Amino acid sequence: EAQVTQNPRYLITVTGKKLTVTCSQNMNHEYMSWYRQDPGLGLRQIYYSMNVEVTDKGDVPEGYKVSRKEKRNFPLILESPSPNQTSLYFCASSSRTGENYGYTFGSGTRLTVV
Amino acid sequence: AQTVTQSQPEMSVQEAETVTLSCTYDTSESDYYLFWYKQPPSRQMILVIRQEAYKQQNATENRFSVNFQKAAKSFSLKISDSQLGDAAMYFCAYRSPVTSLFGNEKLTFGTGTRLTIIP
């Protein structure tokens, strides 16, 4: 089954404790992206990657890092989490072209930073 | 920068009735994609319907259809014969055309409309 797998689904952590949210896709998509969802703000892009070793900032990149060492994986790293990073996070990948173009989203990670 | 506006934070509809969710966007581009996503309580983002701006025909997917008014920059979603399983948050989203191999395919989302189905 074509899918984007995110882990963990829920995470509670303390301020300053480094964490990684993993994302993996099995569709051989070149493009991957991270979004955060906050009430009243919709989803906003954090980082994106066009291919292996090619990443760039989205609209709200502060406090986040990413890496793309393999095509299928695109982890989101919070080096020193703060309470304002409490949010719902989504990883997504897309086929870039084709008649059935569209995004496939992971099932989300609910992060709470206390 | 593109913006997407969903002016109805909440909507409700009687089961089996029809409801329309509104979405407007702002862009100076002539070619782009528009999407409606459904987010049920499970949090999963589910693609409902997609529209390419260069196609004049409105997209339809079973009970879901759009009214795409390019000149007015409006992209409303109509749900016919509403069912209890349609209850969810609905997001409208815009994507610019990608003009290079390494271009960003960012989706710009509206703030969402929470749809309640009344049995």
Number of CB pairs, chain A paired with chain B, less than 8 A apart: 58
Burial class (CB in 10 A: 0-12, 13-18, 19+), B55: exposed
pLDDT of residue B103: 75
Q: Cα–chain-centroid distance for residue B46?
A: 11
CB B75 within 8 A of CB B34: yes
pLDDT of residue B101: 64
Q: Assign A100 a pLDDT band (cuts: 50, 70, 90).
A: low
Residues 6+ apart with CB under 8 A from A109: A6, A7, A8, A9, A10, A11, A21, A88, A89, A90
Residue of B nearest to A42 (CA): B111
Q: Cα–chain-centroid distance for residue A108?
A: 9
Residues of chain B with pLDDT under 50: none
pLDDT of residue A63: 97
CB nearest A105 (choices: B45, B103, B112):
B45
pLDDT of residue B96: 82
Q: How far apart are the C-alpha atoms of A83 and B73, rounded to whole Å?
A: 37
* % pLDDT > 70, chain A: 95
Nearest alpha carbon to residue B7 among B115, B110, B116: B110
Interface probe with B: pick from A103, A104, A109, A111, most Cβ of B within 10 Å: A103
Q: Looking at residue B15, what DSSP letter applies?
A: T
Q: How far apart are the C-alpha atoms of B47 and A90, rounded to whole Å?
A: 14
Q: How far apart are the C-alpha atoms of A60 and A103, rounded to whole Å?
A: 20
Alpha-carbon separation of residue B16 from A68, B2, B89 (angstroms): 46, 35, 18
Residues 6+ apart with CB under 8 A from B100: none
Q: Assign A99 a pLDDT band (cuts: 50, 70, 90).
A: low
- One-letter amino acid of B4: V
Distance in Å, alpha carbon of B111 to nearest chain A alpha carbon: 4
Q: Give A35-68 pLDDT, tens digit per residue.
A: 999 999 999 999 999 989 999 999 999 999 999 9
Residue of B nearest to A10 (CA): B43
- Hey, how many other C-beta atoms are within 10 angstroms of the C-beta on B114? 14
Task: Give the pairing type, strands B33-39 and B46-52.
Answer: antiparallel
What is the b/e burial string over B77-98, where b = at least 16 CB atoms within 10 angstroms of the residue's CB? Answer: bbbeebeeebbbbbbbbbbbeb
Q: Give B89-113 pLDDT, tens digit per residue.
A: 999 999 987 766 667 888 999 999 9
